[in-house]
């Protein structure tokens, strides 16, 4: 699934030179992959101690590029309330996460693209993030849906692809 996400982002020319925010980073796989594919910098936000240990261990694969990654131990929503602008934001919270609309409101002026991974019980981006976002791409993988969305303030024609 990660390969498919980065193929979608590559087709949008979204990663090369980008500032990337990986909220709910877990192992840090998405932020680390973005750096390995040419992102200029990545901030990985995670609150779990064991997950932070995994991020630290996984950063070893980047070698010199590790200096382009900042790890933030803390709550994703709290960090988002104070963060600056990012070209690409990954949001892959636990499936029980219930603050999607708040997250969408916080990121509306702080993200060029938002990549959301959620269950298929959320049929539309409006139900997840509110009406401030436009769907760019949608991919379904079994019971998981990956949405690439952008704020309506900067949105152009939608390019929705299903598989």
pLDDT (tens digit per residue) in 20-49: 999 999 999 999 999 999 999 999 999 999
Encode pLDDT of 93-117 as tens digits: 887 788 888 998 899 999 999 998 8
In a domain, 56, yes or no: yes
Please check whether residue 141 lies inside any domain of the structure: yes
Is 55 a residue whose pLDDT tops 90?
Answer: yes
**93 located within any domain:** yes
Mean pLDDT of the chain, nearest integer: 86
Distances (CA, A) of 16 to 9, 35, 78, 117, 133: 10, 9, 27, 21, 23
pTM for the whole structure: 0.88
Task: Report the domain count for the chain.
Answer: 1
Residue 162 lies in a domain: no
| CATH label of the domain that carries residue 55 | 3.40.50.150
Taking the C-alpha atoms of residue 129 and residue 124, their distance in angstroms, rounded to an integer, is: 9
Asked if the structure places residue 86 within a domain, the reply is: yes
Give the gyration radius of the chain's Cα atoms: 15
Predicted pLDDT at 124: 59
Determine the structural domain holding residue 58 and report its residue range: 2-154
Note whether residue 163 is domain-resident.
no
Closest C-alpha among 161, 105, 109, 121 to residue 138:
161
The answer to whether position 159 is within a domain reads no
């Amino acid at each position: 699934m990660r390969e498919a996400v980065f193929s979608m982002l590559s087709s949008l020319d979204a990663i090369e030179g980008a500032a990337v925010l990986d909220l709910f980073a877990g192992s840090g796989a998405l932020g680390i992959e973005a750096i390995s594919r040419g992102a200029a910098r990545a901030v990985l936000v995670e609150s779990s101690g064991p997950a932070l240990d995994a991020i630290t261990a996984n950063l070893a694969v980047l070698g010199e590029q590790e200096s382009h990654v900042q790890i933030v131990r803390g709550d994703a929503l709290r960090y988002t309330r104070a963060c600056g602008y990012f070209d690409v934001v990954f949001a892959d919270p636990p499936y029980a996460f219930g603050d999607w609309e708040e997250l969408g409101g916080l990121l509306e002026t702080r993200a060029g693209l938002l990549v959301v991974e959620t269950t298929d019980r959320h049929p539309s981006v409006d139900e997840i993030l509110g009406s401030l976002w436009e769907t760019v791409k949608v991919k379904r993988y079994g019971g998981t849906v990956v949405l690439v969305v952008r704020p309506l303030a900067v949105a152009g024609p939608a390019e929705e692809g299903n598989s």
